[in-house]
Chain A
Amino acid sequence: MASMLEIMVRGAELVNADEEFIAQMVELDNDIIFWRFEDDQPAVTTRLDKGVIVVEEGENPDSQIGMKLKAKVLLDVVDNSLEAKMMYTYTELVKGDMELARHHVFALVPYIYGMQDYYDENEEFNKMVVDKKTALGE
């Protein structure tokens, strides 16, 4: 079963290869967020690097925002059972404040919406997410 890191890496691969999302991310750069999952290892850092979403293992110390959440919360956003902006309700900010979070997390909108599209359209990605939610007991 895939880890959250593997799911997020696969999502990034799909989105980074999609012309539509490439166009949306073209001006995004240097938004760094780490994701500390309460029920999954390892932590994950997402980083916008000149219009490309980079997903790396661990908590990047240069992150502007650090979020602590259950893996299910992000998986719910990916399968669209939770509205993306409601993620804050289930997330503890462990680095940065809400104003910074709104600014930097918004840079992930193309990535998040892209993963939602691929959840609907890509059987392999869908299975990764469904299996993970099942394993987490949801």
Chain B
Amino acid sequence: MSEFVTDIGFDSKSLWQPKGFEPHTFPESTWPLLKELNLKTLTEIEGEDLTPVQGMVKQPMAVGTFRHFYNDKIEKLALMWLLISRSIAGGSWVGWPTDDYDFPALIIAWEESKKRLHIIIDLLPIADCVEYEWYREKYLDGLEPVYNEYKDLIGPNSTYRWFRAMQGPYHIFDGPGEQRGRALACEIEYIKEWVKVVKNAEPVKDEQYKQYAIRRKKILQTQLRQRDPLGSVLMRTLGDELGKKSILGYT
């Protein structure tokens, strides 16, 4: 068992430098919120050793690193900080509950280049929010004030129908224009809400509902693993072995 992690272990500005712009300090801006969760370092998932991607990864088309954490409520929480083709700074946090919990998954993506910013901000519901309306009220409606403050950031939604189908009711996707600071502030607010939800979460008691939540979580993870275009990018830029580890880390 590893010790609680209090330091993310790298400085994003010195890890790599993109060409022609200075990316926002996504890791340092977000990590302080999450470290409150008393996280431990996760070094293995499904028998796969993650440590090779937790060091500095240097490939011709990509350079960067990954971090993976867990605690008694969080099955896995993955950070990516990667520079692709010296032009795109890619950051993400993806977090999932253990099988004993049903709180939403954290999906935060930050893809910054000289001329563009692409964001995905969501707390992905593990349960259907229509069938289980209490789920939305319990875990997601706390986002409403933040969503209302930042909903001007919403742009054209994902082109992937399977991804649109799994989104939460407070999903924010793209359209930040030059509002990079606001986009990062919104990501921070969503992470704060997720941290609050995780802290307050209690184990699921209803065994039938628990099995439903586990099944649905695994379907979400599988769809992301098999279909997320980031997966193709990671396989292509990091190679099959490191690419596979990086995908297992967040799905």
Contact = CB atoms under 8 A, between A and B. Distances in A.
The contact size tier of chain A is 20 to 34
Interface residues of B, number: 18
B5 interface: no
Given A20-B86, A109-B84, A109-B85, A102 B60 contact: no
Contacts of B84: 109
B58 to A, nearest CB: 11
A80 B236 contact: no
B236 A107 contact: yes
B60 A26 contact: yes
A138 interface: no
A23 B58 CA distance: 12
B89 to A, nearest CB: 13
A113 B87 contact: yes
Contacts, number: 39
B60 A83 contact: no
B85 A24 contact: yes
Nearest to A51: B60
Contacts of B87: 113
A113 B232 contact: no
A106 B60 contact: no
Interface in B79-135: 84-87, 115-116, 118
B233 A106 contact: yes
B60 A25 contact: yes
Interface string A16-42: 000010011111000000000000000
B25 to A, nearest CB: 23
Interface string A96-124: 00010011001101100100010000000
B85 A103 contact: no
Given A24-B85, A88-B159, 16 more contacts: A20-B86, A24-B60, A24-B61, A27-B59, A27-B60, A80-B115, A86-B159, A89-B159, A99-B232, A102-B233, A106-B236, A106-B237, A109-B85, A110-B61, A110-B85, A113-B85
Interface of A: 20, 23-27, 80, 83, 85-86, 88-89, 99, 102-103, 106-107, 109-110, 113, 117
